[in-house]
Structure 1
Amino acid sequence: MLGLHRRPRARLKALIAAGCTAALGATLFTGAHFASAGESGSATKSTAQAAAAPKAGNKVIGYFTEWGVYDRNYHVKNIQTSGSANKLTHINYAFGNVQGGKCTVGDSFADYEKTYTAAQSVDGVADTWDQPLRGSFNQLRKLKKLHPGLKVLWSFGGWTWSGGFGQAAANPAAFAQSCYNLVEDPRWKDVFDGIDIDWEYPNACGASCDTSGRESFKNLLSALRSKFGSSNLVTAAITADASSGGKIEKANYAGAAQYVDWYNPMTYDSFGAWAAQGPTAPHSPLTSYTGIPQQGFNTDAAIKKLKGLGIPSSKLLLGIGFYGRGWTGVTQKAPGGTATGAAPGKYEAGIDDYKELKSKCPANGTVAGTAYAHCGNQWWSYDTPSTIAGKMTYKNQQGLGGTFFWELSGDTSNGELIKAIN
C-alpha cells in the first residue's frame, strides 16, 4: 500500500547506515524554571524582559498525508469531524514528488481521481463520475469553503522523495517553473495557497546523500520565491540537527530564510529503534538531559542554533510529533535502558500513533519536556496534551511563529493533541 514505505519521518535508520545523523537541543525550561527565574528578579525587570521578548505567532500547521486515505482510512472529512479544522491555520498536503528536476504528482488517484461518496465527503455531497476534480484535492476545496481563512500548501519531497532535489538544484529556475505550473494547474489552482519544500537534506545525507553544495538550498528557494511571488506562501521543512558539524551547518539556511515565509524545523525523530539495542531515549526532547545519547538532538538546541544564525524567531515554528517511537525487550523504566529491537506498531515496527499509544501503553514518566511509557517489556516516547502544553510555553517564551505537526491522522478522533496546541 502506498505511503508507509514513504513515511518521511522514518528517516534515521537510513542516516545511520549512511554514516549520518539527524536532529535537535539544550537548557531546561520547565514551569518551575520559569517561576524561580521570575521570583528572583524585580517586577520592573520582569516587565522589561516581557516587553523585550518577541511576540509569539499563532500559526498551527498540520500535515495531511496523501497515503492516509488507504490503510489509515483518514480523509479530509476527518479533519472536519475531529474539530481540527477549527484549530488549523494551514494544511501541508504531503507529498508531491521531485523527478527529473521538476515537481511532479505523487499519487494521482488519491490526489484528484478517487471518487467520494456522500458519507465520505466533507459536505455530504457525493462525487459524480464526470466532475473535473475529485480526490483529496476536491475535498480540500470543500473544507476551505467551510473555513475561508484556512490555507493549504502542497509539500514536495519528504524522506523518500528528496533524492530528486539535487538535480532540481542544477537548474533552479526550471524547477521553480515546473512547480508553479503544477501547483497553479487550473484544475486545482484555488485549492493551494503556496508551496512547501521538504528537502531531506541539502548538501547532506537522508535516504540518499546530496552533494549539490552549500548554496543549493538558498538558490532553490530564491527561484521559488521569484516565480511564486509575494502573493503565494513559500515555506520549507528543515533539519533540526544542531550537533557540532551537523546538518544545520551543511546548507545556507540563514541565506535562504529571506525567501521563505517560515521554516518548519523537524524537531522530532531524534532517537528511535533504528538503534535496535538502545539506549532508549525520547524521540522529541524539548531540551537536553543527563544521559542524552547525542548532544544537539533536541528542540531547544535547534531553535537556538537557527536563531543564532540570524533567522528571525517569527520564521521558526515548533515541531510536534503526533506519534511515538518505541523499543521492545526493555526492563528499565527510565530512559537509557537496553533493548532488543523495535516495538510492534500498527503500521510499522518502532512507531505508532498517539491515538493507539495513549491506551495501549499510557505515559508514566516525563523527561526533557516530553513523555515516555514503560509497559511490559516495551518502552515508548511521545507527546501528550500535558507535554504539548509545556512546549507551547516554550514556543511563546522564544517568540516563535507558531506550531506545526506530523501528522493529522495520529491524533484522536476528537483532536486531543491539536486542542493542546491551541
Structure 2
Amino acid sequence: MKIVKVNDLVSIKRSVEAGTLEQEAAVKTIIADVRARGDEAVRELTEKFDQVRLADFAVKETEIEAAYGQVSAEFIAIVREAAGNIRAFHEKQLRPSWMTTEENGTVLGQKITPLDSVGVYVPGGTAAYPSSVLMNVLPAKVAGVKRIVMVSPPDRAGRLPAAVLVAAKEAGVKEIYKVGGAQAIAALAYGTESISPVDKITGPGNIFVALAKREVFGDVDIDMIAGPSEIAILADETALADEIAADLLSQAEHDPRACSVLITPSLALAEAVSVEVERQLAVLPRREIAERSLTDYGAIYVTVDLDEAAEVVNELAPEHLELMTADPIELLGKIRHAGAIFIGRYSSEPVGDYFAGPNHVLPTNGTARFSSPLNVDDFQKKSSVIIYSKKAFMENAGKIAAFARIEGLEAHARAVETRLKNKKD
C-alpha cells in the first residue's frame, strides 16, 4: 500500500453512486415496463438478466424446509444467536409515544407508528448474504412492521441460497420472491399481480438497484443509496501490523471500489503494515479484487499526531472506523463522523458485520457526516398530537391570526378568529 504524508491527502471520498446516462436510462425503462406490464415484465426481465424463466416468483414453504436440510446445524445455531444479538440491540432503540399536559390544559405529544409494509432487497445470484437478511429484517420486526417482503435474484436454476432462506425464516419473513435488479425495486414500489407494493425499500444492491431506489424515492421511502464498502483504521505504535493488515483486506475484498485506509502518526507502523498487506494479499482467495481496491482506493496516511489523525477521520467520514490505540476511549470524543466505531483490537470490523448486534447497514461516501446506521426509527413514523385548550386558544388566537396575515394567508387568520366570535365551548 502507498504511504503518504497527510498534507498530501487527496480526497478518496466518492460521490453517491451516480451511474452513467446509459444505466440511468436502462433503469427508467425497466421501471416503466414493470409499471405498465406487471408480472410479465418482471418475468421477461428475470429471464434476460438472471437466465431463468419463472412461472411463479414466490418462494414456497417446501423450499424453505428443504433449505434447512442444506445447511449445517452449526450454521443454524450461529444465525439464531446472531439474530438474538441484533434483536436485543435494536430493542434498546425503541421509543414510546408520549403526551405532556401544560398548565393551561393544552396537551401536546408524539404518536409513533410502525410502517405498514417494508421491502428488503438481498443481493444474490452468485453469492449469499444471510447477514443482510438479519440486519434489514430484524429492526423492522422490532419496530412493529407487520408486512415484510424480501426479494432476491435467483440463480440459473431458479433458486435462492439455502443460507438466505434459513436466515429469512429465522428472522420471521413470510413473503419472499425470487426477483432481483431494478425490476425487483419497481415491483416493490408499484406492485404487480403477484407482489403488492410496500411503503419503504431497504437493502444494498448493484448500481442498477441503487439507481432504481433513487428513481422510486418519493413514491416510497428508501434507506440510503449505498456505495462501496469503506474502512478507516486509526492506530498508533501499540497496534499489531498483521491485525491491521487483515482488517484492511477484509474490506478491500468486497469490491474493486472498496476503500481501505490506515491513519497513523507512526511511520514504523505504516511501513510494517504496508509489508504485511502485501504478504497477506498474496494468499488471499479474492486477491484480484482486493489488489485493485488497494491500488485505486487504499492508502496509509502518516500524520503528525493522533489529534491530526482524528481530523483526517472526520474529513473522510468513513463507513467503518477502527480505533486501535493505547487509549482509544480518549479519542472517541474527538470523532464526529463515522458510521460505526470499533474500539480496541478485539473489535475487528467483521464482529459488527455478523454478530455483535449493531446494524451493519451504514452510511457510505462521506454521508456519515449527516446520516446514521439503519435503525428502528427507519421503520417507524411520527405524528404530532395537538389538543389545544380553550384557555390557551383565547390567550394566543390573536398572535396566531397576526402571524397568518404576515404570511398573507387571510383564511388561516379567519379560521382562528371565527372561533373567537363563537361562544360555544
Pairwise same-fold verdict (TM > 0.5):
no
Structure with a larger share of its residues in helix: 2
- Which structure has the bigger radius of gyration? 2
Q: With structure 2 as the length reference, what TM-score do the two structures score?
A: 0.28
